[in-house]
């Protein structure tokens, strides 16, 4: 039975936190509490690819790690994949053409155009052949739908071969509609509903970021299978505030 992150994404509901602090101990700690994966964020953090690789090493194989790159870029995608991550999140996909290009940069020939080198993903050369033979099948390629242009092309984007999941970014989506931050607005929710309906019809696992457990339960009930639940910084802030309130009575 295939137990890769990509295979589990097709058959399970997976929950993981977003990590934005470049500290291996954070990944080590969060990999031990039962999350299904760790999301290492290079888009909205000061981290670079070297930091991401250290976080993956900090997780120690206890938990799958995926990396969100900062942009739809061949160079960023190639460098992120060479860390040995289990999946990659590519933000701001706005068209089927961008989706096809992103997938091609993630896959080795003949399916795609990913460059090859002996990096950590390949055991620094020790298991190069084995990694290259399995990577196209096992890597989870996750595209973010976070612009109204993507919603308007959702059916075409869903036809892109090689995509493991589409992940809705509600904040940027609302901004692209002139409603920044108004996640509950009926037009934003209608756009998200279009993605849900199209994803379900195509059998595509869908993901969503949520801030708390109650919101996660609601997202799962709507059909989302990949939940990004909070961030390392939000957990730190919440615990610190709660402790200080309790101490001050």
Annotated catalytic residue, options 3, 44, 122, 147: 44
44 is catalytic: yes
Before 110, cis peptide (omega within 30)?
Answer: yes
Alpha carbon distance 186, 42 (integer Å): 31
Alpha carbon distance 128, 206 (integer Å): 32
Q: Of 9, 6, 11, 45, which is closest to residue 27 (Cα–Cα)?
A: 45
Alpha carbon distance 77, 237 (integer Å): 31
Q: Of 46, 86, 92, 91, which is closest to residue 66 (Cα–Cα)?
A: 86
- With both helix axes pointing from N to C terminus, report the angle between 74-81 and 49-59 in degrees, rounded to the nearest 10: 30
Alpha carbon distance 153, 55 (integer Å): 35
CB 111 within 8 A of CB 117: no
CB 137 within 8 A of CB 112: no
Three-state DSSP at 245 gives helix
Q: Which residues are catalytic?
A: 44
């Amino acid at each position: 039975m295939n137990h890769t992150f990509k295979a589990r994404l097709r058959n399970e509901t997976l929950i993981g936190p977003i990590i934005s602090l470049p500290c291996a101990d954070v990944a080590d700690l969060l990999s031990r509490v039962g999350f299904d994966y760790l999301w290492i964020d290079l888009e909205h953090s000061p981290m670079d690819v070297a930091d991401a690789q250290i976080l993956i090493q900090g997780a120690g194989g206890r938990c799958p790690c995926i990396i969100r790159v900062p942009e739809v870029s061949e160079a960023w995608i190639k460098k992120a994949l060479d860390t040995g991550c289990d999946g990659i999140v590519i933000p701001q996909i706005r068209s089927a053409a961008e989706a096809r290009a992103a997938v091609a940069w993630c896959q080795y020939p003949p399916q795609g155009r990913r460059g090859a080198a002996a990096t950590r993903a390949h055991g620094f050369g020790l298991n190069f052949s084995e990694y290259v033979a399995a990577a196209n099948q096992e890597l989870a390629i996750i595209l973010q739908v976070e612009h109204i242009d993507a919603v308007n092309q959702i059916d075409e984007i869903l036809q892109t071969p090689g995509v493991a999941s589409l992940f809705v970014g509600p904040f940027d989506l609302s901004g692209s509609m002139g409603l920044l931050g108004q996640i509950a607005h009926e037009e934003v929710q209608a756009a998200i509903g279009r993605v849900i309906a199209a994803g379900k019809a195509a059998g595509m696992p869908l993901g969503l970021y949520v801030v708390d457990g109650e919101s996660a339960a609601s997202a799962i009930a709507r059909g989302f299978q990949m939940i990004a639940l909070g961030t390392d910084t939000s957990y730190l802030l919440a615990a610190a505030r709660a402790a200080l309130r309790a101490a001050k009575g």
